[in-house]
Amino acid sequence: MSARNRSCSSSILQACSSSSFARQPSRVLIVDASPPWWSETCTALCQALENFFLLASSLTGPVRLPLLSVFAISVQLECLLPFVHVKGNLTRLLSCVDELRSLPQEGCVRQQRTLLTQAVLDSLQQFKQYICHAARGDFNSNCVEVTVLTCQPGQNILRQLDQDLKNSDLMNLRRLLVVQVSSQQSVCDRSPASLGTPSAEDYQE
């Protein structure tokens, strides 16, 4: 291959890579911090998030994670971080982790299922409001990906959400993931589902 062809190939690959990053959806993280399970996973999960934020906010090159919002389900539903740009916002991201660490690890959540459904709906509504008021250059995708971190069985949570959200407006929802975190501080089950996407199946292994 000539030097010119190698240069062209490199340029094409770089353009494709940059274009792919530019189309990345915004993300929502919903942390199920319901006691008593939160006492078993809080330390490891918060440390993992802190490490991830340190890395994601400092990466050079194209933006890989454009916008992020964080919700927590404890004794009540809380939005710990409205949509912000990940790059250059390390202070706010670490402050969000500190808030997660401060959530109560004892108590009882009587309406956990309702709070989880409400968290998904609130995140979608917040995203709609953001794209209506933000400058067009602040984002390159009108879809959002929601990830739920929970200690409860992932497939059960997916079935609950599928049932509770079936009559909701999910136009902006690209994908909903449920990640089950075990008490051994490891991810033991990851069950992705695409809700509100006509071409996708409700459940995927």
For 54-92, write each residue's pLDDT tens digit.
998 887 777 677 899 999 998 889 999 999 998 889 999
pTM for this prediction: 0.77
Amino acid letter for position 38: W
**pLDDT level of residue 189 (50, 70, 90 thresholds):** very low
Tokens of 38: 């939160």
More confidently predicted of 138 and 14: 138
d(CA 84, CA 67): 5
Question: What DSSP assignment string belongs to 79-102?
Answer: EEEEEEESTT-HHHHHHHHHHHHT
**C-alpha span between 145 and 131 (Å, rounded):** 15
CA-wise closest residue to 32 among 149, 157, 156: 149
**147 touches 116 (CB < 8 A):** no
More confident of the two residues 17 and 84: 84
> What per-residue confidence (pLDDT) applies to 16?
43
Domains of the chain, start order: 25-193 (3.40.50)
Which residue do the tokens 């890989």 mark?
Answer: 64
